[in-house]
Amino acid sequence: MNKIHVSLIGASGYSGVELIKYLLRHPQVEIDNLFANTSAGKHLSDVAPVYGKNFDPVLESFSVDKIEKSDLVFIALPSGEALNLVPQILAAGKKVIDLGGDFRLQNTALYEKYYKRTHTALNELSKAVYGFPEWHASRLKNAQFISNPGCYPTSAILPLAPLLKDGVIEQTGIAISSLSGVSGAGKSSSLDFSFTEINESVRAYKVGVHQHIPEIRMALEQISGKPATISFVPHLIPITRGIYTSSYAMLAKGKTEADILAAYEKYYGSAPFVRFSATKIPDIKHVAHTNFIDIGFKLFPENGQVVILSVIDNLVKGAAGQAVQNMNVMFGFIETEGLL
């Protein structure tokens, strides 16, 4: 199979730098161009010293004529910036995978409420395929444009979806609490989200107004085919990378530990990056720098509750790794190519 040519917009951000690593190790990929905004004109090694002698291109300012040879363009920019780029790139006949949040919500009223801006690319919004390879592979194979799921949603949706879909847990009153490393806020985040401010502390933020709330609810309802009510509270903790999510739900009447395991085996038994266990408590350090999600759970029979625990690397399964996994499905590569 011939290699595909890819370009990346947002090469100097945390997710972009991580994505380059996986693209370089992918045997079916050739990198054409790396684009950046404020870092344009610098060498890649100037913003990411991990790269150097063997791969050190100059970061460029984006223009659509520079992607003429590319089959696929990744966008790894803060939300809002892809609205102007995606129409140009799709019009040029290129495939797109967007790691930002601009095309995840099909409901523009929710987008404008949670992202605080008007959606200006409505024609392209209808073309976006929200992409979990574990659930949406058939749609991803034929997609021209994939909207990569968010990091917090990935850590919550994948553990909850099988249990909702098979009626193992109740649809109402699902509470989700997530702890994230500070890299999740991105390089352009405010001082409040810096490591100095978070160190020796834990901080909840955007309580009740976080932009991932409607995304989690939307995806759970689409996958399960059932309405769901959720609460979601994110926290920053003093580590660089990783997300630890605890989800609290009520078991449906008559359901047991065996039903939970059966649901996970049914939907994830052959999923290469989903690991689940009834006995092991997941730990961030076991998924750091990988594309895995580890899932565990604990039942509280006295009140009919189950706590589902999950961990991911926010920069890999929550961003760059999942984007490459989506690319693999999109182009018919082995799903694990470049990721193991």
The pLDDT value given to residue 186? 53
Q: Is the pLDDT of residue 63 over 90?
A: yes
In this prediction, residue 8 has a pLDDT band, given cuts at 50, 70 and 90, of very high
- Please report where in the chains the tokens 């004109």 appear, as a residue: 41
Q: In the chain, what is the greatest distance between 2 CA atoms, to the nearest angstrom?
A: 64
Residues 208-257 pLDDT 10s? 999 999 999 999 999 999 999 999 999 999 999 999 999 999 999 999 99
Report which DSSP code applies to 58. B
CB under 8 Å to 141, separation ≥6 — which residues? Answer: 329, 330, 332
Is 200's pLDDT higher than 90?
A: no
Tally the C-alpha atoms within 13 A of residue 261's C-alpha that lie toward its C-beta. 9
CA pair distance 288, 297, nearest whole angstrom:
20
> Which residues does residue 34 pair with via DSSP β-bridges, in sequence order?
8
Active site residues: 151
Mark out the alpha helices in the chain (DSSP H runs): 14-24, 44-47, 82-91, 108-115, 122-125, 133-140, 151-165, 195-198, 212-224, 257-268, 321-331
Residues 6+ apart with CB under 8 A from 63: none
Domains of the chain (ranges, CATH numbers)? 4-149+318-331 (3.40.50.720), 152-313 (3.30.360.10)
Task: List Cα–Cα distances, 21 to 41, 152, 315, 321, in angstroms.
Answer: 20, 22, 12, 10
Exposed/middle/buried for residue 227 (C-beta within 10 Å: 0-12, 13-18, 19+): exposed
Helix H or strand E encompassing 245: strand 243-250
Instruction: Specify the DSSP class assigned to residue 148.
Output: P
Closest listed residue to residue 67, CA positions, set 89, 38, 83:
89
pLDDT at 199: 84
Question: Model confidence over 82-135: pLDDT tens digits?
Answer: 999 999 999 999 999 999 999 999 999 999 999 999 999 999 999 999 989 999
Query: Stretch 1-19: mean pLDDT, rounded?
Result: 94
Query: Which of 141-150, 171-180, 197-206 is least confident?
Result: 197-206
To the nearest 10 degrees (0 to 180), the angle between helices 212-224 and 151-165 is 30
User: For position 53, what pLDDT does the model report?
Assistant: 81
CB burial string 64-84: b at 16+ within 10 A, e below:
eeebeebbbbbbbbebebbbe
- pLDDT at residue 197 in the model: 78
Helices (H), 27-96: 44-47, 82-91
For residue 53, give the DSSP letter. T
